[in-house]
């Protein structure tokens, strides 16, 4: 037996003896330490998500100059309460247009106690969105993930300042996506949720369980009969809000393409009964005289299958596709007319926001 083997022969028993002695004398502490490593939290919570997102959700106080009967002078008085979301380190804030539409001065209160005066970068009537900006250092920015796709059943949290009680978080799920027809223009692409949204929540954040921005809380549905909440709330999807924001920042307004037609989703059952090849598409119900579609030769009851080779399975897809095409650009429409597939070239026009808001039909932008 060599020297190394002899040393191991004598050292091993000593080593294990020391370990056993430590376990005997400090067994309780040893078990506590091991348990702390193995212990798992059995309570499922969303505090981490809220901690990530909440600092970037701000309180918005809109003020308006009003004539005073006391001294016959104008004074700033609160006119609207709402919330907003810091989405960029440059101080850009997303909120609802109706929160700031009548404001002569806009105050932004951060959760860390800082107070700022905001300027309006731009607003969009159709989506009821506005972009504000504040100047400050080390501004909190809400987590954003362009790859996230909202799905029915996803857990969501609504963060805002209801009734000026202070920042409040409510929980719900995404109940539906692509809820159009809820806005005054009939063309909104809402997320529907059962997370409670009250006065003051408008413009606040709807986040997922990772703290990522899902949408901008916009409105709560209530029955015309009693005015009470029905547990149904709506939010503008983050991806749509981001597109609107980028357009407002870069151009000062939202430029949307327009075909000048009114359409609706084609009922698959009726399509089968009529023997139509297309079952997931839209049918044209009206054509605005002198509009792009009218000039190109599109007819009522034509079925729109594709725009520039991209299938349009429903009205929302068609609206988004056309809206993103720059006005003046040529596009090819693939139509089904009396059983025959045809192609027409159309020059995309520009949607007028005021005209769009005055109409209730489902126009394709």
Q: In the annotation, is 222 catalytic?
A: no
Q: How many other CB atoms are found less than 10 A from the CB of residue 338?
A: 8
Residue whose tokens read 């692409």: 189
Q: In the annotation, is 124 catalytic?
A: no
Q: What is the predicted pLDDT for the residue at 360?
A: 42
pTM attached to this predicted model:
0.74
- Crossing angle (nearest 10°) for helices 3-25 and 27-38: 90
- Taking only the tens place, the pLDDT of each residue in 264-301 is 888 777 777 666 666 678 889 999 999 999 999 999 98
Annotated catalytic residue: which of 79, 202, 219, 233? 202
- Taking only the tens place, the pLDDT of each residue in 220-275 is 765 555 555 567 889 999 998 999 999 999 988 888 888 999 888 887 777 776 66
How many Å apart are CA 324 and CA 209, to the nearest integer? 30
Give the Å distances, CA to CA, from 194 to 172, 199, 251. Answer: 5, 15, 35
Distance of CA 200 to the CA centre of its chain: 17
Handedness of CA 194, 198, 202, 204 (dihedral sign): negative
Q: In the annotation, is 98 catalytic?
A: yes
Annotated catalytic residue: which of 62, 79, 83, 98? 98
How many Å apart are CA 57 and CA 94, to the nearest integer? 10
Q: At a CB cut-off of 8 Å and minimum separation 6, what does 1 contact?
A: 9
Q: At a CB cut-off of 8 Å and minimum separation 6, what does 274 contact?
A: none
């Amino acid at each position: 037996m060599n020297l190394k083997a002899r040393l191991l022969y004598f050292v091993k028993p000593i080593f294990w003896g020391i370990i056993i002695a430590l376990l005997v004398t400090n067994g309780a502490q040893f078990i506590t330490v091991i348990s702390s490593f193995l212990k798992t939290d059995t309570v499922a919570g969303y505090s981490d998500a809220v901690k990530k997102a909440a600092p970037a959700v701000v309180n918005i106080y809109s003020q308006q100059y009003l004539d005073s009967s006391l001294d016959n002078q104008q004074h700033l008085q609160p006119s609207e309460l709402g919330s907003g979301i810091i989405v960029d380190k440059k101080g850009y804030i997303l909120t609802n247009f109706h929160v700031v539409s009548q404001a002569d001065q806009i105050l932004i209160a951060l959760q860390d106690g800082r107070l700022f005066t905001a300027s309006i970068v731009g607003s969009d009537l159709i989506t009821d969105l506005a972009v504000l900006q504040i100047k400050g250092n080390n501004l909190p920015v809400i987590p954003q993930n362009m790859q996230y796709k909202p799905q029915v059943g996803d857990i969501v949290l609504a963060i805002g300042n209801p009734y000026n009680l202070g920042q409040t978080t409510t929980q719900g799920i995404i109940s539906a996506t692509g809820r159009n027809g809820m806005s005054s223009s009939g063309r909104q692409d809402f997320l529907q949720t059962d997370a409670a949204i009250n006065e003051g929540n408008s413009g606040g954040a709807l986040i997922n369980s990772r703290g990522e921005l899902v949408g901008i809380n916009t409105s709560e549905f209530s029955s015309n009969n009693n005015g009470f909440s029905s547990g149904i709330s709506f939010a503008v999807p983050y991806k749509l809000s981001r597109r609107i924001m980028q357009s407002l920042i870069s151009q000062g307004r939202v430029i949307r393409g327009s075909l000048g037609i009114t359409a609706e989703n084609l009922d698959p059952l009726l399509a089968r009964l009529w023997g139509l090849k297309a079952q997931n598409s839209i049918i044209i119900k009206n054509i605005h005289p002198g509009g792009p579609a009218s000039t190109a030769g599109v007819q009522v009851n034509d079925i729109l299958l594709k725009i520039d080779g991209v299938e349009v399975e429903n009205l929302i897809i068609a609206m988004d596709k056309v809206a993103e095409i720059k006005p003046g650009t040529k596009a090819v429409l693939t139509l089904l007319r009396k059983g025959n597939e045809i192609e027409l070239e159309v020059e995309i026009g520009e949607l007028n926001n005021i005209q769009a808001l005055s109409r209730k039909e489902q126009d394709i932008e």
